[in-house]
Chain A
Amino acid sequence: MNHIHLFELSEKKVNGTITQEELDYLNKIFIENPDLEADFYNNIKLITELNEHAKYNMFFKNLKKAENTHDALIKINKLSKTIAFRRFLQYSSAAAVSIIAVLSTLYFTGWFSYHHQINTYKQLSNSITTISKNQKSLWTTLFNNNEITYLRGTAFAISNLGYLVTSYHLVSDNDSVLVTNATDSSLKFHAKIILTDPEQDIAVLKISDSSFSSISNIPYSINYNYTTELGNYVYSLGFSKNSIVFGEGSISSFTGYNEDTNSFQLSIPTNPGNSGSPVFNQYGEVVGIICGKNFEKEGSSFAVKSEVLKSIVDSIKSIDEKAFKTKSSNTIKYLPKNKQVSKITPYIFKIEIY
């Protein structure tokens, strides 16, 4: 009995094809040689394992594949992170370069001298300082509050219900507004700030006194579609002093201060107190609102274009339907200049803000 034959029989045993004769033969041999029996069972074990080896081997291979796939994915993830980081570096360096470019452009175009320029711009509110000299009360010694400051400016009516337009910078820090009629200084009213547009430097007030009911129909209209043409004749009425002052000139530039396209430049001499003054063209239409001047350059005042009033009027309409119910038509269109002014004057108000 050689080992090869034993293996053959072992295999037959595993496959279940072993005959009774063969089994008897094996039993006889095992009694003679017990070592062969151990060999026989070891063979059976090995063959059993081998028979199952195909699927285990397959599983092992699949597992190895999965491991490699997993490793590869992790590597790719790491790589993409590195790439992302590199890209971040690239982009951030590009960003840095562009920031430098922008900054240098701003520097060379003089953007940073803006703060210098702003000093040359003056809002034309007239600030009056009253110094009380005679008393040194406990109050003033405690708080050193011996200066009473208020602003003066101009406003004009846009609705017969007492809606007035003025400059935002006049009323920005204050809530108590007193308006005085240009023709009758005994007509003093309190006014509320209805809405403000700090960007366009526009504020809308409404006369809030109970004694006020309405004003008669406004003789001028607002030209929302006015196209600024250099040399166009314009005039203005405002309170650069205690009584109304007339000023006239031409449109001298399409743009306002610092090339602001929402405003234009006028050659009307203006002074503090002119803020909020309406600018009329030769037909008595409102074409702008004076907002400031460049006090380093003579005769250059700035006015906000009347077109910005369009949205403001619409806003008022949404708050108060009745505000523009009475249509204001331009009744002074063909009147001579002095007649126009006398018709307009009653609708110009001096405002004092405390």
Chain B
Amino acid sequence: MKNKLSLDESTIIQGIKNNNTMAITYAYKKYYPSVANYIRLNGGNDDDAKDIFQEAMMVLFHNTQKEHFQLSCQLNTYLYSIARNLWLTELRRQNKNTPEIEDFDQLLSEDELLMEEAEEKVKAQRNLKLSLETLGEPCKTILTAFYIEQLSMQEIAEKMGYTNSENAKNQKYKCLLRLKKIYQKL
């Protein structure tokens, strides 16, 4: 039951950057408890903790995609700070008391700039995912095949039974239009 595996931080970050399942699982196991503890102590439940940690990991993932990404502190501190920031924003949104905001803002004002951009990105990707999921057929299959499975238009045409790739292409643009409508409403 015990995971004897031990990874150092740079390996974890590299793993996260390259979407390595094992590294992500390891990071989840290692860093989730302290975040969850913080959320629980500040009026959140387990589901809140999961959402916040997920968001924090997404922010981390986004930042690792940047070319010259480097951590100025320990990964644990970094994730904890992001999670704390996210949770305080969430509390603010819900108009709840957030007594810790002042001293927190002082502590990590630099990181907040990075975060805003990252958060926006993560939010966009989230909304996109949601839009794709609510998109009806055949658009969902076409767009998923093109953007996630990364098939060529020829392959998609064959898969979906279109006479040629030009037809498929037209269908794709129609679908993009529909997707855009859903996406912009979110």
Question: Could you list which residues of chain A lie within 8 angstroms of chain B, going by C-beta atoms?
Answer: 3-4, 7-8, 11, 42-43, 46-47, 49-60, 62-63, 65-67, 69-70, 73, 76-77, 80
Contacts and interface: CB of A to CB of B under 8 A. Distances in A.
B61 A59 contact: yes
Interface of B: 1, 16, 19, 21, 24-25, 27-29, 32, 50, 54, 57-58, 61-62, 65, 122, 124-125, 128-129, 132, 143, 147-148, 150, 169-170, 173-174, 176-177, 179-180, 183-184
Contacts of A65: 21, 24-25
Interface of B, secondary structure class, is: helix
A62 B24 contact: yes
Contacts of A62: 19, 21, 24-25
Contact of A80 (B1, B54, B143): B1
Nearest to B60: A59
Contacts of A69: 25, 28-29
Interface of A, secondary structure class, is: helix
A50 B25 contact: no
Contacts, number: 93
Contacts of A67: 28, 50, 54
B30 to A, nearest CB: 10
Contacts of B21: 62, 65-66
A43 B183 CA distance: 11
A63 B57 contact: yes
Given A8-B169, A53-B147, A55-B65, 8 more contacts: A4-B177, A8-B173, A54-B150, A56-B62, A59-B19, A59-B61, A69-B29, A77-B1
Nearest to A5: B173
Contacts of B57: 59, 63
A4 B173 contact: yes
B173 A56 contact: no
B58 to A, nearest CB: 7
